[in-house]
Amino acid sequence: MAEFTLDLNDDQKQVRDWLHGFAADVIRPAAAEWDEREETPWPVIQEAAKVGIYSLDFYAQQYFDPTGLSIPVAMEELFWGDAGIALSIVGTGLAAVGVLANGTEEQIGTWIPQMYGTPDDVKLAAFCSSEPDAGSDVSAMRTRAVYDEAKDEWVLNGTKTWATNGGIANVHVVVAVVDPALGSKGHASFIVPPGTPGLSQGQKFKKHGIRASHTAEVVLEGVRVPGHCLLGGKRKLDERLARAHERARSAAAGADGGERVKNAAMATFEASRPAVGAMAVGTARAAYEVALDYAKTRSQFGRPIIDNQGIAFQLADMRTRIDASRLLVWRASWMAATGKAFTSAEGSMSKLYASETAKQVTAQAVQILGGNGFTREYPVERMHRDAAIYTIFEGTSEIQRLVIARTLSGMPIR
DSSP character string of 242-280: HHHHHHHHHHHTTS---SPPPPHHHHHHHHHHHHHHHHH
CA distance 210 to 295: 26
146 and 116 both lie in a single domain: no
Tell whether 255 is covered by a domain.
Answer: no
Domain span at residue 163 reads 125-234
Point out the catalytic residue in the list 217, 289, 394, 398. Answer: 394
CA distance 180 to 184: 8
CB 388 within 8 A of CB 359: yes
CATH of the domain at 203: 2.40.110.10
Q: What is the pLDDT of residue 115?
A: 98
Residue 198 has what DSSP assignment? T
How confident is the prediction for the chain on average, in pLDDT?
A: 94
Tell whether 335 is covered by a domain.
Answer: yes
Mean pLDDT across 219-236: 97
Residue 130's region, left for phi above 0, alpha for psi from -120 to 50, else beta, is beta
Q: What is the pLDDT of residue 269?
A: 61
pTM of the model: 0.94
CATH of the domain at 314: 1.20.140.10
Count of domains forming the chain: 3
Which among 92, 79, 88, 91 is positioned nearest to 42, based on CA atoms? 88
The rounded radius of gyration (Å) of the Cα atoms in the chain is: 22
402 and 271 both lie in a single domain: yes
Question: Last residue of some domain: 122, 143, 168?
Answer: 122
Question: Last residue of some domain: 122, 148, 164?
Answer: 122
Percent of the chain whose predicted confidence (pLDDT) is above 70: 95
224 and 291 both lie in a single domain: no
The pair phi, psi for residue 159, each rounded to 5°, is -130, 130
284 and 182 both lie in a single domain: no
**How sure is the predictor about 265, in pLDDT bands with cuts at 50, 70 and 90?**
low
CA distance 10 to 18: 12
Q: What is the pLDDT of residue 258?
A: 47
Is 106 among the catalytic positions?
Answer: no
Residue 68: strand, helix, or coil: coil
Q: Which residues pair with 164 in a beta bridge?
A: 215
201: enclosing H helix or E strand: strand 199-204
CA distance 86 to 94: 13
- Segment 284-293, tens digit of pLDDT: 999 999 999 9
105 and 153 both lie in a single domain: no
Tell whether 275 is covered by a domain.
Answer: yes
219 and 108 both lie in a single domain: no
Pairing of strands 187-192, 171-177: antiparallel
Contacts of 146 (CB under 8 A, 6+ apart): 154, 155, 178
156 and 39 both lie in a single domain: no
